[in-house]
Amino acid sequence: NEACCQCGGGHLTPTEFKYPDRRFLLGSDVTLAPEPRTAEHYTLDEACELAVYNLTFDSATGVVSSVPGMDKPIEEFTVECTVTAHPADGDFFEAPLIVVVEPIAYESTVLIFGNDETYDALSPPGFG
C-alpha cells in the first residue's frame, strides 16, 4: 500500500526536465524549449538576464526565444538562469537554462572526428 499512487500512498516526485545543450550563431534566432514539457507554468530566478540580450521567456510553455523585431546582439554571450517548473500537483522541479551565442557554431555540441568525418560550421544570416 505504500507504493500506490492511485490510493495516495507512495512517494511522488516531480518530473525532471532539461533544456537542450545547444549553441547559437551570432545573428540567428534563439529558441529553446524544456524537454519534456512537464508543468502548467514556469518561472525564472530573479537574477536571470535574458532581457539584456533581447530574449524572452514564455511562462506558459517554458520556451526561450529571440524577441521578434528587436536587434540581435552583435557580440557573443552566455546567460545562465534557473527555471522552475510548477505542475498542477505542486511538486516543482528546477533545471538550469544556459543560452550560448557564439561567432562560430555547429549543429551538434559534440563533434567526433574520424578519417572521413567533416562538419560544416553554421552560416550567419545573409551568408550562405
List pLDDT tens digits, range 67-118. Answer: 999 998 889 999 999 999 998 777 889 999 999 999 887 766 676 767 776 6
Q: What is the pLDDT of residues 27-53, one digit of tens each?
A: 999 999 999 988 889 999 999 999 999
Range of lowest pLDDT (11-20, 54-63, 105-114) = 105-114
Between β-strands 93-102 and 77-86, what pairing exists: parallel, antiparallel or unpaired? antiparallel
Strand ranges of the sheet holding 41-44, from the earlier edge strand across to the other edge = 23-25, 93-102, 77-86, 41-44
Instruction: Examine residue 73 and say whether the peptide bond preceding it is cis (omega within 30 degrees of 0).
Output: no
Backbone angles phi, psi at 68, to 5 degrees: -60, 135
Of 42, 6, 18, the C-alpha closest to 98 is 18
